[in-house]
Amino acid sequence: MSNTNLLDTPIEFLKGVGPQRAQLLRTELGISNYNDLLHHFPFRYVDRSKFYPISTVTDTGTFIQVRGTITHVEVVGEKRSKRIVATLKDSSGTMDLVWFQGLKWVVEFVKPGQQYVVFGKPNEFKGKFNFSHPEIELYEHYIQLGNEGLHGIYSSTERLKNFGLDSKGFFKLIKQLIAQLKGKLPEFLPEKILQKYHFVLREEAWKNIHFPLSSEALKEAEFRLKFEELFIIQMRLLKIKSNRNVYLKGMKFETVGQNFYHFYNNFLPFELTEAQKRVIKEIRTDMKSGKQMNRLLQGDVGSGKTVVALICMLIALDNGYQSSLMAPTEILANQHFQTISELLKDMPVKVGLLTGSTSKKQRELLFDSILKGETHILIGTHALIEDKVKFNNLGLVIIDEQHRFGVEQRSKLWNKSEQFFPHVLVMTATPIPRTLAMTIYGDLDISLINELPPGRKPIQTIHRFDDKRLDVYEFIRKQIASGRQVYIVFPLIEESEKLNYKNLMEGYDMVLQRFPIPEYQISVVHGQMNAKTKDWEMQRFVNGTTQIMVATTVIEVGVNVPNASIMLIESVERFGLSQLHQLRGRVGRGAEQSYCILMSSYKLSREARLRIDTMIKTNDGFEIAEVDLKLRGPGNIEGTQQSGLIDLKLTNIAQDQNIIESARQTAQFFIDNDPSLEQPENASLLQFLRENNKSKTNWGRIS
């Protein structure tokens, strides 16, 4: 039986499990084989090599271990308050041990005069510390069991605990498992990598992550296994990337010609920022390289990605190719179409728009013109790619605000082609820290616009408590009087759609009372509206018919209304940082000073406070992203859901940035030097990756 098969062994075959517990392990924790159990890591460790003198027990927060002799055991109380109280004494003092259940067992096991080791979290009761239901063991057994070193605490569930699988139960099972795996977890990293990072061997790492003898041993084990976890991901991403380079030839865009220059010299209404120039150069280098481009363009809201997209599409046109620009919503597609049509003025470039609202007749004309190559630039929603739109010669696909697109979807898109596939540029306004980008978008090259166009007045961010609402409304009234528009955003309350709606409608009523029709016109947009009504409401705000837009977070992505100067966010404590930053980015797009007003109640958690302070302190999306990552971990950051990142069991993306870098570098090293892992020294690595990627990257494809 090979090693893989051993780790795939169903969990019921492990000694001490059996069918009933196996069933529970599956349903409660998703542990169905040896490998899953191996990955059930302790969530915390306590030092069981130390005994605390009883007199030094002063806090109730942590697990500790004491040793002493039982001096007294007594049953107190009646019926439901019946309990056993035992007194434990060491040379420094005494404390009580209390049991409310399992009394019979306690009476048999806990005997005066005997020495015990007691482990648990102290409680405070009437000024004295006690243990309730501690783990307790005869001292002589403790010695025999070899309970030395750090002791892992495992998470469990009520039902599992009822079947003996509490933390201690897991401890025993995993001990059993590790014993069984002895000699069966061979090293797969080549010697030079092991040496470079001073890694402990794999088997040792697995043992020490569960049963570390010291905190150094634990650290080494964690380092090694985190690396392993990240390395597998990076190998997969870089393999996808390199496969694309091998299999997909790129169209060579060698010329920068008439359309580009004509636009650049005559129609571009502003000087490009240095950052815009730099990324255009990076993109151009890709597009003329003969390889197919797959690039992520990251730029904070308002950094000017649209014009970069346009310029790239003009370069495609100069080389005789069509382009398409895909937006996530109809309203954004409309906006891009308008912006781009205006920018191109009367240049001989034909721009088409394809959305769900395009009529059948228009559609037919459009399809025909696309097929003939008469339409040079096609702007639209998802329909662009998914429908049977046939291009004459599509050379560049730009995907805007596409953080909902994971690696798997992307690779599907790209793998469609046999030989030539258009260059792909993914644009996102979600700033994410470099190491996270490396993981979510690790199969892409990354360009960054890290500079806003000059002359922007930084948005002023203000925090107001709810009781200042009238002042805030007064301020809004003045802004509207001077011709500005205002967003008022209410939070989504996740538990209930109905509640959301109610929340929003109450908010709407509140706004309506202060800003009555017909003096004021208000748009309302929420998640339960159908797309058509939503678009209509938005459109009224975009074209200035309404002065106020009351909404849930649906306006987060992309909408551009330069005349809007206030973003008022209600119940700000309910929003995540990145979300707040995205919302704030909806204003500050015009010439006027803009404001972001954060409203909250007085009751704020420490984290909510930190989010508000961060928003006030900085407008820098990357700085905000770093804080957000630290606060919430990667699971809540957009894009991670699809990336497989959530599956990270050990790595903390915010804290382990160095390990991510190392894993990336190492993976790159293999991809550069032995992309198919054919060299004998890499054979075990290849074997390992094949086993770990069963359903994912096809490592066999290359060979």
Q: Residue 276 or 651: which CB sits closer to ligand ADP?
A: 276
Of 42, 212, 250, 302, the residue at the interface with ligand ADP (CB under 6 A) is 302
Residue 214: Cβ-neighbour burial (10 angstroms; 0-12, 13-18, 19+): middle
**Among residues 395 and 588, whose Cβ is nearest to ligand ADP?**
588
Closest CA to 279 of 456, 454, 455, 451: 451
Q: Does 276 bind ligand ADP (CB under 6 A)?
A: yes
Cα angle vertex 592, ends 587, 597, to 5°?
Answer: 45
Question: Among the candidate windows 228-236, 272-280, 374-382, 662-670, which touches ligand ADP by CB under 6 A?
Answer: 272-280
For residue 179, the one-letter residue type is A
- Determine if 505 is a binding residue for ligand ADP (CB under 6 A): no
Nearer to ligand ADP by Cβ, of 397 and 587: the residue is 587
User: CB of 273: closest distance to ligand ADP in angstroms?
Assistant: 5
**Binding piece for ligand ADP, criterion CB under 6 A, among 94-102, 140-148, 217-225, 297-305:** 297-305
Nearer to ligand ADP, 303 or 334 (CB): 303
- Please, which residues bridge with residue 378 across strands? 324, 352
Considering the complex, what minimum distance in angstroms separates the CB of residue 578 from ligand ADP?
Answer: 15
Strand pairing partners for 135?
119
Q: 3-class secondary structure for 639-679?
A: CCCCCCHHHCCCCCCCCCHHHHHHHHHHHHHHHHHCCCCCC
Binding mask 449-468 for ligand ADP (x = CB under 6 A): ----x---------------
CB 181 within 8 A of CB 6: yes
The least CB distance from residue 638 to ligand ADP, in Å, is: 15
Q: Is 28 helix (H, G, I), strand (E, B) or coil?
A: helix
Per CB under 6 A, does 305 bind ligand ADP? yes
Smaller CB separation from ligand ADP, 302 or 442: 302
Distance CA 326, CA 398 (A): 6
- Pairwise CA distance, residues 248 & 290, whole Å: 10
CB of 312 to ligand ADP, least distance (A): 13
Footprint of ligand ADP on 387-426 (CB under 6 A): none
Q: Which range, of 13-21, 280-288, 295-303, 686-694, touches ligand ADP by CB under 6 A? A: 295-303
Kindly tell me which of 398 and 568 has the beta carbon lying closer to ligand ADP.
398
Q: Please identify the residue of the shown chain whose CB is closest to the bound ligand ADP.
A: 304
Instruction: Choose between 21 and 305: whose C-beta lies nearer to ligand ADP.
Output: 305
Using CB under 6 A as the binding rule, the residues of this chain from 551 to 570 that contact ligand ADP are 560
**Single residue of 33, 259, 306, 500 touching ligand ADP by CB under 6 A:** 306
From CA 326, how far away is CA 341, in angstroms rounded?
A: 15
Angle between helices 621-632 and 577-584 (to 10 degrees): 160
Measured distance CA(578)–CA(431) in Å, rounded: 8
Minimum Å gap between C-beta 272 and ligand ADP is 5
How many residues in the shown chain lie near ligand ADP by CB under 6 A? 16
To ligand ADP, the closest distance from the beta carbon of 163 in angstroms equals 55
CB of 401 to ligand ADP, least distance (A): 8
For ligand ADP, the closer CB: 295 or 664 = 295
Q: How far is the CB of 293 from ligand ADP (least distance, A)?
A: 19
- Using CB under 6 A as the binding rule, whether residue 307 contacts ligand ADP is answered as yes
Q: Which amino acid makes up residue 102?
A: G
Q: Is the dihedral of CA 264, 267, 272, 277 positive or negative?
A: negative
Of the ranges 16-24, 271-279, 349-357, 594-602, which one interacts with ligand ADP (CB under 6 A)?
Answer: 271-279
Give residues 508-537 in contact with ligand ADP (rule: CB under 6 A). none
Taking the alpha carbons at both ends of the chain, their separation in whole angstroms is: 25
Quote the least distance from Cβ 429 to ligand ADP, whole Å. 5
DSSP one-letter code for 72: E
SS (H, E, C) 540-585: HHHCCCCCEEEECHHHHCCCCCCCEEEEEECCHHHCCHHHHHHHHC
Our finding on whether 429 is near ligand ADP (CB under 6 A) is yes
Beta carbons within 8 Å of 67's beta carbon, 6+ residues apart: 51, 90, 115, 116, 117, 118, 139
Q: Which is nearer to ligand ADP, 303 or 435 (CB)?
A: 303
d(C-alpha 362, C-alpha 386), whole Å? 18
> What is the C-alpha separation between 282 and 312, in angstroms, rounded?
11
Binding mask 576-615 for ligand ADP (x = CB under 6 A): -------------x--------------------------
29 token code pair? 């924790």
Q: What is the rounded CA–CA span in Å between residue 354 and residue 366?
A: 8
**Minimum distance between the CB of residue 643 and ligand ADP, rounded to whole angstroms?**
23
Considering the complex, what minimum distance in angstroms separates the CB of residue 359 from ligand ADP?
28
Which residues of the chain form contacts with ligand ADP (CB under 6 A)?
A: 270, 272-273, 276, 299, 301-307, 429, 453, 560, 589
